[in-house]
Structure 1
């Protein structure tokens, strides 16, 4: 993605443009006006007498507003333009642009001002790849306003463009003004662009969720920013650059503030611009942790919002499990039609433990024990998830295994290689940004060492090959829950395919974990082995849960497994009824344990 784009934002509503303020979206240049995970403008181009404008200068007074100073044609080192344009833009709930055309000559100027507009209504999460719309694009002119729209069944989005200046010639391609400016005079108009999330009756959904909520504008955003800066700790020192840097950091933190529809009066940090300008789990937790000495309210808002969306059921499509904290939440077309699972999506292993860490750190910094008591149910549910679902191997570690094999997130592996290289002693500043350069550095380090490297739960050969040493005496063991093709032809690779446990091996595993109880009831053991499909993971889960419930007999365990239905496709084996095992474990909770949030606030049995 181009890094020289001009950006202004208000939460998850933002505008990306080129240096002159024009928006011309391409897969490699994701310009546009975005709101709630949809691009509402993909084209916004200003011309004077058919000529494009070039930038002379730019002023960025705030994160939500920008001014472009432009001239027609190509600029030169000695510009003697008879006409210039000031383009003042802000985003505050909607997109507003004030155009001012100045005549610097001694003669009147006849000028045609044209603003060309269009929208592809691209979902944000695929804006970089491009996509053919599955619905119907439409455009119409109504009451002097240009309406650009998209509809797919009941899903509707619409962009409404209007102007304060009459007469504007509005057609389906944009707005045109035929103006006359007197010598040394100027002409001004303001363009309003609203992105609407429409219900079937044509009303904006957001207007009905919070009918008493005032619409945002740039003056209100400015007041909010000044209030934010006024409540933060003040830094006074004799080195002015440090004071300026500290203030800018506070402004940048305020720029990330995102108020979700569920909590319109609270702001938590969004994940980042542009692809992650949404509610996420990991990013607001880290940002809130780092900002605790300066803005502890961010942490409280993050705890509140993430607790509201905490997992409550087993849902393979969204990778949801009781007590799990979400990874991200999206509003766009792809999640509305369940082509993507992010509404919300829970595919992450670290966010749930981090939620508990944030709650503890918040109390440590603020002394606010009331907030800890308020979110006690959510914290206990998160701790229960760590024990019951995060520790899927029964070894005391939190693992990641997606349930949704089609559209769920895979293990990121080499994508997280910066931390891998850091663990090998490479300073963060010395880690290259490009993937192949990282792989080369990794191999050069291993060439001088003898190491055993374990790569667990690999997806395919392409994921493994970057992590193989080039030369030297290191050994790599790569495990996978599926057969990996392409390994046999690689030099030094020795594929070893492990089948299911035999019945005798499965019985030995249970006997080793359950002791004399397994030997005393062979029929129940046989039933459990059959229900677990002779998979070691399934057998280990059942054994661990059975040990934690000493009053439960093995025939009762086999009976409860028989009552549970469904399969956990994420483990990739149709012989094992693993979802039944998880469901059986969840139903074993006592009636007093589920909390007010609808989750499972409990800890490991006996702890």
Structure 2
């Protein structure tokens, strides 16, 4: 369990780094929009870095960052300036990179020429995917070296990778690009006081041609699934107007952050679950997801219901010293990366926590008090009974009325409460 015994505080992402989140996917980049493998940056999908290099150069020179902001948790805008070919300080070319995160990323690159003369631009978008495990990136120790095959074809570049029988793939595409083994190349001349744009996408793929899921909305006039979920979240939360602007801003930010931390149970797309935190903990946790649900249940019991249902589906049924699973126990964390699967014998859930199981019972009680449907309570009640059995039979090892803990193997978490 790489990184689980290390300091769990996320490592520094670098000054000016911009983080986007959408479900369990996230993206960390520099202020100019570039993703460089020397930093803990990248696009992450299912706890794997599917993009480790995403760097734009114009006429062989990187962009000078001018500003960056995030209009939504899953959207980022980066403004940069293209350097002069002769090394001069002033440049008439500015570059706008509008990025949207989903199952991969989509980016609209626009170059504005504010000069009096046409400007020739050679754009090189360098691309790489090391498919490193999230914990490898977080800890700064990427160990697995995947065998890569790069297949440029027309305006697309596909990267296939293999490591000990496990396959990963990603497809990068842009209309009009010249694809090469290192990335995508564009050549254009932009008239004076004009602009040029291109839309680039990078998505994980399964099999030979099919993408895993639609990345984003294709037509610009449609509303993306990300925006639909965000609007539904905004509509369901009571609005507040306070005389103290500082408190008002804090409540608004809390509402926005909770909305950004929602992830979807893949087996049940209608269920929303609260992740533990951005960027490194955009996953289902026991303690963190339950505590956040307890705090928000007066305003939105649906998050509590989704969290309870998802954790109940993965409630322990057997004794497994490797994953620390025990009958009735509520899990600590779910991870989908290759490294975690190896550490847990091919499984994705780790159960080494003392407090998630009591918190499960607590949240069910709170949700009942705040109006969760009686049918839902009745469905979850047997899971609460099994959780109470775990507290008595496994949590309280010496029968003194208190829950104790001790990890069951030397790879597990030392501190489980």
Instruction: Give TM-score scaled by structure 2 length.
Output: 0.89
1:394 and 2:406 aligned? no
Query: Which residue is 1:139 aligned to?
Result: 150
Cα deviation, residue 239, structure 1: 4.7
Cα deviation, residue 37, structure 1: 0.5
Query: Which residue is 1:10 aligned to?
Result: 22
RMSD: 2.2
The structure with more strand, counted as a fraction of residues: 2
Cα deviation, residue 159, structure 1: 1.5
1:361 and 2:366 aligned? yes
User: Over alpha carbons, which structure has the higher Rg?
Assistant: 1
1:301 and 2:343 aligned? no
Query: Which residue is 2:335 aligned to?
Result: 330
1:150 and 2:161 aligned? yes
Secondary structure of the corresponding residue to residue 270 of structure 2: coil
**Structure 2 matches for 1:233-272, cutoff 5 A?**
233-240=238-245, 242-272=247-277
Query: Does structure 2 conserve the Cα–Cα contact (< 8 Å) formed by 1:225 and 1:251?
Result: no
Query: Does structure 1 conserve the Cα–Cα contact (< 8 Å) formed by 2:204 and 2:212?
Result: no
Instruction: Give TM-score scaled by structure 1 length.
Output: 0.62
1:101 to 111, 115, 134: 111
Secondary structure of the corresponding residue to residue 268 of structure 2: coil
Cα deviation, residue 149, structure 1: 2.5
1:184 to 193, 217, 224: 193
* Structure 2: stretches of 5+ with no match in the other structure: 1-10, 218-222
1:410 and 2:414 aligned? yes
Query: Does structure 2 conserve the Cα–Cα contact (< 8 Å) formed by 1:311 and 1:322?
Result: yes
Cα deviation, residue 205, structure 1: 9.4
Secondary structure of the corresponding residue to residue 280 of structure 1: coil
Secondary structure of the corresponding residue to residue 43 of structure 2: strand
Query: Does structure 2 conserve the Cα–Cα contact (< 8 Å) formed by 1:146 and 1:160?
Result: yes
Query: Does structure 2 conserve the Cα–Cα contact (< 8 Å) formed by 1:386 and 1:398?
Result: yes
Query: Does structure 1 conserve the Cα–Cα contact (< 8 Å) formed by 2:341 and 2:347?
Result: no
Cα deviation, residue 106, structure 1: 1.3
Question: Do the aligned partners of residues 240 and 121 (structure 1) sit closer, same or farther apart at CA in structure 2, a change above 3 Å counting?
Answer: same
C-alpha offsets along residues 307-364 of structure 1, whole Å, 9 cap, x if unaligned? 0000001111110000000111111112333467761110111110110000001111
The separation in 2 between residues aligned to 1:134 and 1:105, in whole angstroms, is 46
Cα deviation, residue 80, structure 1: 4.2
Query: Does structure 2 conserve the Cα–Cα contact (< 8 Å) formed by 1:169 and 1:175?
Result: yes
The separation in 2 between residues aligned to 1:86 and 1:344, in whole angstroms, is 41
Query: Which residue is 1:422 aligned to?
Result: none
The structure with more helix, counted as a fraction of residues: 1
Cα deviation, residue 72, structure 1: 2.0
The separation in 2 between residues aligned to 1:298 and 1:355, in whole angstroms, is 13
Query: Does structure 1 conserve the Cα–Cα contact (< 8 Å) formed by 2:323 and 2:344?
Result: no
The separation in 2 between residues aligned to 1:369 and 1:135, in whole angstroms, is 51
Secondary structure of the corresponding residue to residue 267 of structure 1: strand
2:73 to 63, 66, 80: 63
The separation in 1 between residues aligned to 2:255 and 2:80, in whole angstroms, is 31
Question: Do the aligned partners of residues 246 and 374 (structure 1) sit closer, same or farther apart at CA in structure 2, a change above 3 Å counting?
Answer: same
Secondary structure of the corresponding residue to residue 303 of structure 1: helix
The separation in 1 between residues aligned to 2:216 and 2:391, in whole angstroms, is 40
Query: Does structure 2 conserve the Cα–Cα contact (< 8 Å) formed by 1:329 and 1:342?
Result: no
Question: Do the aligned partners of residues 370 and 97 (structure 1) sit closer, same or farther apart at CA in structure 2, a change above 3 Å counting?
Answer: same
* Structure 1: stretches of 5+ with no match in the other structure: 208-213, 417-607
Query: Does structure 2 conserve the Cα–Cα contact (< 8 Å) formed by 1:347 and 1:409?
Result: yes
The separation in 2 between residues aligned to 1:134 and 1:67, in whole angstroms, is 32
1:81 to 73, 88, 91: 91
The separation in 1 between residues aligned to 2:216 and 2:364, in whole angstroms, is 31
Cα deviation, residue 231, structure 1: 1.2
Secondary structure of the corresponding residue to residue 281 of structure 2: coil
Query: Which residue is 1:25 aligned to?
Result: 37
The separation in 1 between residues aligned to 2:44 and 2:345, in whole angstroms, is 19
Aligned length in residues: 396
1:193 and 2:202 aligned? yes
C-alpha offsets along residues 70-122 of structure 1, whole Å, 9 cap, x if unaligned? 10239xxx974211101111102320110001111111111111100111110
Cα deviation, residue 410, structure 1: 1.8
Secondary structure of the corresponding residue to residue 300 of structure 2: coil
The separation in 2 between residues aligned to 1:340 and 1:129, in whole angstroms, is 24
Query: Which residue is 1:286 aligned to?
Result: 291
Secondary structure of the corresponding residue to residue 87 of structure 1: strand
1:349 and 2:354 aligned? yes
**Which region of structure 1 is more displaced relative to structure 2, 240-249 or 12-21?**
240-249
1:160 and 2:171 aligned? yes
Question: Do the aligned partners of residues 146 and 25 (structure 1) sit closer, same or farther apart at CA in structure 2, a change above 3 Å counting?
Answer: same
The separation in 2 between residues aligned to 1:367 and 1:120, in whole angstroms, is 45
